Amino acid sequence: ALSENDVAHAKALRNEWLDEAARIFASHDFFLLPSAQVFPFDVSQAYPKSIGGTQMDTYHRWMEVSIPASLLGLPALAVPCGQAHGQHMGMQIVAKHGADGALLAFGRAYESAFAEAASISDRAPPPGFGIDEI
């Protein structure tokens, strides 16, 4: 069970994250994150046991990159962003509180650009969005 101090500490940490998000959104409309910390892995593997030499102690650790938007209650979209070495990857587009409409409009524009690029070259993302370019 969580103690009162545990809950107070968690609230303080969340407030720090909210302050940082406010700082980011003061000068940016969106921020982008990968949708996962690893490329797809073999279906027989429950989850990656390590990433970049860091041990994953539980199943959910390899998906921690999805926590910020959820923790802060921010609107987010997950979209494809290309592939590297035959492995597909997605990214999250995260917007500030109340910017759901702007996020959906941006997502629609991204989808159109991605579809156009995909018709030109084998499912390639639009310039600037590819994993290989990061």
pLDDT band at 119 (very low <50, low <70, confident <90, very high): low
The 3-state DSSP class for residue 120 equals helix
Mean local confidence (pLDDT), 119-132: 48
Read off the pLDDT of each residue in 68-87 and give the average, rounded to a whole number: 87
Name the pLDDT band for 85 (thresholds 50, 70, 90). Answer: confident
Give the up-direction half-sphere exposure of residue 9: CA atoms within 13 A in the CB hemisphere. Answer: 5
Instruction: Give the per-residue pLDDT at 96.
Output: 96
End-to-end CA distance of the chain: 42
d(CA 27, CA 100): 17
Q: How far is 6 from 8, CA to CA, in rounded Å?
A: 5
What is the edge-to-edge ordering of all strands in the sheet holding 87-95? 30-34, 87-95, 76-84
Sequence-distant (6+) residues with CB within 8 A of 73 are 97
The pLDDT, as a whole number, for residue 132 is: 40
Q: What is the mean pLDDT of the chain?
A: 84
So what's the pLDDT on residue 90? 87
Q: With contact defined as beta carbons under 8 Å apart, do 106 and 76 qualify?
A: no
Helix (H) or strand (E) holding 1: none
What pTM did the predictor assign? 0.76
